[in-house]
Amino acid sequence: MIRSCPGVPHTDNERAQAVLRVLGLRHLAQGVALSVTGRPAAVGVGVAADVLHAVSALGLARYSKRWRTGAVADFVLASAFAAAGALALTRQTRRAVLSAAVRNPTG
């Protein structure tokens, strides 16, 4: 990620690499949790994590000129993940409501 963003200082910055590894592991754990459970609550937690990630990236972009380019790219990606998760959650909730209505039409 660091090397793919033009203008981002990526010379042997161990702290930046460690942060990106942690964020990558978080994405993997989130993906595994969602694929295993698929429950709306898990999707909601994932959306919340992505929103927090986007907000923190936006804060970094605002206050760090050195990391602005990478932080903006990270903000865009995290926002896209949050939006996709919210859309999936909306569809999943809609399906659950429709399914319940079909099973019990009298409510």
Question: What whole-number distance in Å separates Cα of residue 34 and Cα of residue 62?
Answer: 31
> What phi and psi, each to the nearest 5 degrees, are found at residue 96?
-65, -40
DSSP E strands in 6-57: the ranges are none
- In 3D space, the residue among 42, 27, 4 whose CA is nearest the CA of residue 81 turns out to be 27
pLDDT of residue 83: 92
pLDDT of residue 27: 79
> Is residue 88 a contact partner of residue 80, using CB atoms and an 8 Å limit?
no
pLDDT of residue 43: 83
pLDDT of residue 1: 58
Stated length of the chain = 107
Encode pLDDT of 37-53 as tens digits. 777 888 888 889 999 99
pTM: 0.71
Question: What whole-number distance in Å separates Cα of residue 15 and Cα of residue 77?
Answer: 21
Q: What is the DSSP letter of 60?
A: H
pLDDT-based confidence at residue 58 (cuts at 50, 70, 90): very high
Q: What is the DSSP letter of 5?
A: S
